[in-house]
A = this chain, B = another copy of it.
């Protein structure tokens, strides 16, 4: 599956991003309103160039991502693409790689005939629970959950394509810019349906490097001046936001959230179905993403445990899709990583150790923060730890059920709890901006809910182990057991009342 070691080997995230971005530039997104089946569709498009990959999916109708072997294929297709004729409406004549396939002959009937669609969202929780109940062991349940939930190859392509389409909008004014996905879309911990976090990278604008003469005449661009980088970011996002709102086909509900700590645009990209957050010059977040990706690649148990904990937390309302005093997925992930660093022997190394392994090319200081860590996976020597994920899950619950949150801070840089520098209920040191607390937003109630749930889940899991199916016994109609029970809010609640 996407971004997993199986398909991509052990590439560093940067290599992967470059590959995916390049694929995306050769791709188009097509809404299939016609009755074209796969064959007719392919024949029509192949006239414009070799097709390397294509797939269909559903989002407000049927859509296809088509990757040509070269950009010429895209150019050729666009040359024959018409501007729609509309009757009682008018069009904003903004051309992009978002297209509609239409069929004069069929009258656009029967759009879905013969199309095999790739899922772009997770199965409903009930289905997941049923599915998990049929597995033979908790370890197997965890693997199954990870496979059901993680971003697919197709979903990843679609994410990069959306970035590429949005890049075209920004590139109109900043020709050398790129838009890069970060966060769970690429860190290896994203589930199908998670939001698409992107940042606009203006740092590659050329001309910064044109040599100035030592003396004599020289020419400069006249540019608008503002009193801070932040104001520049706000300006750039404001214009792009206006543009997406007025021109961007399929971009709806564009909100400009320019006064946030990190100014951003939030909107829904309908043709892909993604909830999008676009920031600018957010390079520290990219580094966090690389780090999380690296940890996820080091040992398969990392990703499995993170997926399981994230899924469990969401099922019980410990995390939420709306911002608030809840623990965020990012905080939760850092907590899992910290826990894995604390195993004996540790399953993953500390961030300080990763920095020690870094070569000269890895050096990175962003806005005064040392973000250096090794990028070459082969340099990282792992300690031999053979604990099962089931055991780790249980231990995770135990660990945080008894963690001294009132005094200590979670710190993946040192891999050891540190004294809390501030009074926030939950303190998780930001890995790169070390003076910041990643979970500053979390209030005491939410932390208590988390701790209580860890206790109950640990207890429940121990009860459950006795319930595990015998070899060969798994099958349809089984009552939830193991991980399934952990994901049923009613179960945990009833255990809770029983315990009292």
> Could you list which residues of chain A lie within 8 angstroms of chain B, going by C-beta atoms?
30-31, 34, 36, 40-41, 44, 77, 79-86, 88-96, 98-105, 172-174, 202, 205, 207-208, 210-229, 231-232, 235-236, 238-239, 242-243, 246-250, 271
Contact = CB atoms under 8 A, between A and B. Distances in A.
Contact of A229 (B40, B81, B90, B103): B90
B92 A221 contact: no
A91 B31 CA distance: 39
Which of A98, A174, A211, A229 lies at the interface centre, i.e. has the most chain B CB atoms within 10 A of its CB?
A174
Given A83-B220, A219-B81, A90 B246 contact: no
Contact of A246 (B30, B174, B239): B239
Contact of A98 (B34, B85, B202, B222): B222
Nearest to A246: B235
A77 B218 CA distance: 10
A220 B92 contact: no
A104 B218 contact: yes
A222 B249 contact: yes
A227 B88 CA distance: 7
Across the A-B interface, the 4 shortest Cβ-Cβ residue pairs: A172-B172, A235-B246, A222-B249, A242-B242
A249 B103 CA distance: 47
Most B C-beta atoms less than 10 A away, residue of A100, A173, A227: A173
26 contacts: A30-B219, A44-B217, A82-B207, A83-B207, A88-B227, A89-B226, A90-B231, A91-B223, A91-B226, A92-B224, A92-B232, A93-B174, A93-B205, A93-B223, A95-B207, A95-B223, A98-B222, A99-B219, A101-B217, A102-B217, A102-B218, A103-B216, A104-B214, A104-B215, A224-B247, A242-B243
A40 B248 CA distance: 47
A197 to B, nearest CB: 23
A65 B31 CA distance: 48
A369 to B, nearest CB: 19
Given A81-B207, A83-B221, A94-B174, 15 more contacts: A82-B207, A82-B221, A83-B205, A90-B228, A90-B229, A91-B224, A91-B226, A92-B223, A99-B222, A100-B219, A224-B246, A236-B246, A239-B239, A239-B246, A239-B247
Contact of A217 (B34, B94, B225, B235): B34
B222 A92 contact: no
Contacts of A44: 217
B250 A222 contact: yes
A80 B216 CA distance: 14
Nearest to A82: B210
B103 A217 contact: yes
Contacts of A88: 227
Contacts of A210: 79-83
A192 to B, nearest CB: 24
A99 B202 CA distance: 21
Contacts of A84: 220-221, 223
Contacts of A216: 103-105
A224 B248 contact: yes
Contact of A94 (B34, B91, B224): B224
Nearest to A98: B222
A82 to B, nearest CB: 5
A496 to B, nearest CB: 50
A246 B280 CA distance: 15
Given A90-B226, A227-B90, A220 B81 contact: yes
A173 B172 contact: yes
Contacts of A207: 81-83, 93, 95
A96 B221 contact: yes
A174 to B, nearest CB: 7
Interface centre among A34, A98, A216 (most CB of B within 10 A): A216
A85 B250 CA distance: 39
A314 to B, nearest CB: 33
B235 A247 contact: yes
A352 B229 CA distance: 60
Nearest to A95: B221
Contacts of A102: 217-220
B82 A218 contact: yes
Nearest to A241: B242
Given A235-B247, A236-B246, A94 B218 contact: no
Nearest to A91: B223
Contacts of A215: 104-105
A70 B91 CA distance: 36
A100 to B, nearest CB: 5
